[in-house]
Chain A
Amino acid sequence: MNLDKDQQYLQGLKKGDRRTIENLYAQFSRQIQLLIEKNNGDAEDAKDIFQEGLMAIYDLANKKDFQLTCPFGALLYRICRNKWIDKIREKNKRQEVRLSEDLRSIGEETKDVLTLAEEAQQQSSIQAQRQTAFLQLSDLCQQLLNFVKKGIPAKDIVDQLELNNVNTYYRRKNACMGRWKSLVVA
């Protein structure tokens, strides 16, 4: 395992460094495309799965105390593989899913790869849940929280939304955050 290189990939992805991301595509995209094409998918599917895989690692890497304990490429491969299995199962709900050897065998993946890939899957689903719940909030709540997202100070939000005072802002924010939390849990 080339720790330095894998750490560079991870840090570059977290920062959104374009050169690192180009390296990641150059290094790993072919392998994922072959995997998907061997299993009833096409280049477009592979492109989507690869992107989802990278975002899953991005979300995982932003978890508190996260440590990459396996090769970046092996983790990405495993995550993409899991995501593709989920997709084809979804497509063929009533049919038996026939997988090629690549998708069935666990191969030489270490326990760390499997555990981290599992964690990434959970993190992706939490992320998606929060995003979906956010979109179900009222326009006013979304507008208010979008200001918060951009790091705009409370007193400026009060002006922008023409609220009476900071107290009204916190009251409204509390209501929106409470609603959001209940939608995430539901």
Chain B
Amino acid sequence: MISDNDGLLLEMYLDGALAGEELMSFEKRLQEETALAQALEERSALHQFLKDQPQREQVENILPEVAKAHFKPSAKIRPLWQRSSFRIASIAAAIALIVFIWQPWQQASLYEQFGQHKNLALAERGTPNLDPSNIEKAFAAKEYQKSIPLLENYLQAYPNSIEANLYLGICHLESNHYQRSTAIFKSIAEGESSFKYAGLWYLALTAVKQKQAEQAAAYLTLIPEDSAYFGQANALLEKLK
């Protein structure tokens, strides 16, 4: 464990902000003090992690785009001729019964049914230095990967825009970055803004997309009657039963 002052010096050193006498004396201490050298190593690793993130995110965003052309569901070839007609009939009947009772296709397509996003309208709020129409166009065209860096840029200029943050979460959800979308929606749902229930609704959709029906239902039940999301939350709850 290093002192606050040494932590401060470490940060300055890693940033190249130390010079002259101060730099020389700090480098000398690094050679002599094991704890300080170890702290430098740990901090450097985290700095490197941060530095690598933009490139990593870029690669991570390309993959789902390329993946679209691959991974089509395979047609399963079953050796029917090896089975008696009775066995085939009973298997078919059992499958039909299971499908009739559980309606599993509803689980699979629930997200598509309910995951309809309203158009993003940042421009209406009037933004002096940024033209958000590109973000809105990209989002409307369902170019979620493309929208992520655009929204991040926008948020850099307007860090308090909960709407932009919500839509960034939606783009992550559409790109299957569940950890990131969940973190964003949680922060919105735990806040007190007018987007609070949108946050809950999207937390539920994140769970639906991952086929976590119980988790989704838990979020949906927190949406109150006077919220704009109440009707659709109820409809989704019905389907999840």
Contact = CB atoms under 8 A, between A and B. Distances in A.
Contacts of B10: 174
Interface in A154-171: 154, 166, 170-171
Interface stretch (A51-59, A72-80, A93-101, A109-117): A51-59
A174 B10 CA distance: 8
Interface residue tally of chain B, by bracket? 35 or more
B73 A51 contact: no
A13 B55 CA distance: 11
B54 A181 contact: no
A55 B177 CA distance: 13
Interface residues of A, number: 52
A130 B11 CA distance: 18
Contacts of B72: 43
B51 A149 contact: yes
Given A22-B66, A25-B66, A170-B17, A33 B50 contact: no
Interface stretch (B41-49, B78-86, B194-202, B225-233): B41-49
A183 to B, nearest CB: 11
A16 B59 contact: yes
B17 A148 contact: no
Contacts of B56: 55, 58-59, 62
Interface string A21-62: 110011001100110010000111011101100110011001
B95 interface: no
Contact of A181 (B46, B50, B156): B46
Contacts of A145: 50
B46 A177 contact: yes
A170 B11 contact: yes
Contacts of B11: 170, 173-174, 177
Contacts of A135: 179-180, 183
Contacts of B53: 149
Interface string A131-166: 110010001000101111111001000000000001
B42 A181 contact: yes
Contacts of B8: 170-171, 174
Nearest to B16: A154
B101 interface: no
Which 3 A/B pairs are nearest by Cβ-Cβ distance?
A174-B7, A47-B71, A16-B59
Interface of B: 4, 7-8, 10-12, 15, 17, 42-43, 46-47, 49-56, 58-60, 62-64, 66-67, 69-74, 156, 159, 176, 179-180, 183, 187
Given A25-B66, A55-B56, 9 more contacts: A16-B58, A25-B69, A29-B67, A34-B74, A37-B74, A143-B159, A149-B54, A166-B17, A174-B11
24 contacts: A18-B62, A26-B70, A29-B67, A43-B72, A44-B71, A47-B67, A50-B67, A51-B64, A55-B59, A55-B60, A62-B52, A62-B56, A145-B50, A146-B156, A149-B51, A149-B53, A149-B54, A170-B17, A171-B4, A171-B8, A174-B4, A174-B8, A177-B11, A181-B42
Interface of A: 13-14, 16, 18, 21-22, 25-26, 29-30, 33-34, 37, 42-44, 46-48, 50-51, 54-55, 58-59, 62, 127, 130-132, 135, 139, 143, 145-151, 154, 166, 170-171, 173-175, 177-178, 180-181, 184
